[in-house]
Amino acid sequence: MRKKFLIVCASICVVMGTIGVFVPMWPTTPFLLLAIFLYMRSSKKGVKRILSNKMLAPYVKSYFAKSGIPTKMLLRTIALLWITLAIAMLLCRNNATAVIILFLVGTGVSVHLYSKRSKQSNG
């Protein structure tokens, strides 16, 4: 029962991640990473399917690779993150706590992504 539940949740994450490939400002990598996490506990075939998929594999392979995230992809991801956060902050500008939380989350995600940058782009 648990295994089937994890497979269903992972499959939903794959669908959500796939939507992110086509819809701007919709996250792709976090959903795919969560799908891999869930599949690792339920279906090794699911992990293999993601890692062998020509459309989805680049999003997660660059995350796991020791080579890091390519600079162009890193800059695009961080830019989209902050554009999305800026819109959210504007929408909830009357709630200082929400704005502070969004800023802190954005800063944390940016630092984490920067730590995953391609070592080749550092000179």
Q: Is 18 left (phi over 0), alpha (psi -120 to 50) or beta?
A: alpha
Q: Is the pLDDT of residue 113 over 90?
A: no
Q: What is the pLDDT of residues 59-93, one digit of tens each?
A: 888 777 667 777 887 888 888 889 888 998 999 99
Is residue 47 within 8 A of residue 40, CB to CB? The reply is yes
Tokens 């162009």 correspond to what residue?
72
Q: What is the pLDDT of residues 3-33, one digit of tens each?
A: 999 999 999 999 999 998 887 667 788 889 8
Is residue 77 within 8 A of residue 69, CB to CB? The reply is yes
